[in-house]
Amino acid sequence: MLAELKSKIGSVRLIAVSKKQSPESIRGLYAQGQRVFGENYVQELQEKAQALADLPDLHWVYIGVLQSNKIKRVAQWAQEVQTLSSPREASLLAQSLRGYGKTQLPVYICVNLGDEPQKGGVDLQGVPDLARFIQESCPELALQGLMAIPPQAMSDEAHRTGKPPEAYLRLRELAKVTGAGKLSLGMSSDYEAAILAGATDIRIGTALFGKRPYT
C-alpha cells in the first residue's frame, strides 16, 4: 500500500499516522522506506520512540492536543509539532526545547477551518498574529506553515466531488505566506482533493495501516 500511495502523491510529503498502531507495524513501513510518522498522544509517542530507538532517522511528528502539562514530553520526543494553537503553547514548547538544548524545531500553526468549538486551532484571521509571535519571540521554533483538520462535512464534500472546497483554497493562500509556506492537509478520505488544493504534506493513517486495532 505504501508504494502505491507514494506513486500517487509524487513529491507531497507523507506523514504515516501511526496512532493506535503497534511498533511492529511501524517497523514494517520503516523497512519499506517510510521515515515520517505522526502520533496524537504523548504517552504513545514516548513508548514508541523508546521501542524503536534502534531505527536511525525516524522522524516523529506530534499532531495531538498540546496540553500544557505534556508539552515538555512533546519537546523531548517529537522532531516536529503541527498543532500549535496559541502563543502560550508556543512559549511553553520553546521553553522546554531550550531545556533540552534543541533549536529550530519545525512547527505548524493548527487552523480550525470550520470554527468547530470541540476542536483546537485558531481561525484564519488569527493566523498572522500567532505567526508573528512565533517568529519574533520563539527562536527555538521554525515555522513551516499551516495544518488543518477540516470539518467532516467539508472533507466528505471534497471526497464526493473530488474538488477542493473553497475553504481549502483560502487556507492555501494563507499557508503560502506563513513561515516556509507549507500546508499539512488531507487524510485517508480526502487527500486527493487536498493535494489539488496545494497540500505539501498529507497525514494518512487507515489507508496505510488498515483500520486502527483499538480506540
Name the minimum Å distance from CB 98 to ligand PLP. 26
The verdict on 97 binding ligand PLP (CB under 6 A) reads: no
SS3 134: helix
Q: Quick one: which of 5, 51, 52, 207 contacts ligand PLP (CB under 6 A)?
A: 207
Q: Which of residues 38-57 bind ligand PLP (CB under 6 A)?
A: 40
The verdict on 145 binding ligand PLP (CB under 6 A) reads: no
**Nearest C-alpha neighbor of 178 from the set 78, 96, 110, 95:** 110
The verdict on 66 binding ligand PLP (CB under 6 A) reads: no
Q: Quick one: which of 27, 156, 188, 196 contacts ligand PLP (CB under 6 A)?
A: 188
Q: Where are the strands (E) in 35-140, listed by range?
A: 36-39, 59-62, 80-84, 105-111
CB 82, CB 108: distance < 8 Å: yes
Helix (H) or strand (E) holding 2: helix 2-9
DSSP 121: S
Q: Which stretch binds ligand PLP (CB under 6 A): 53-61, 96-104, 159-167, 200-208?
A: 200-208
Q: Which stretch binds ligand PLP (CB under 6 A): 53-61, 125-133, 163-171, 199-207?
A: 199-207
Q: Which is nearer to ligand PLP, 95 or 189 (CB)?
A: 189
Cell of 186: 488531507
CB 2, CB 208: distance < 8 Å: yes
The verdict on 152 binding ligand PLP (CB under 6 A) reads: no
CB 193, CB 158: distance < 8 Å: yes
Q: Sketch the per residue contact string, 14 through 33, with ligand PLP: x for CB under 6 A, - otherwise.
A: ---x-x--------------
Q: Which of residues 153-182 bind ligand PLP (CB under 6 A)?
A: none
Give the footprint of ligand PLP on this chain (CB under 6 A).
Answer: 17, 19, 40, 63, 149, 187-189, 203-207
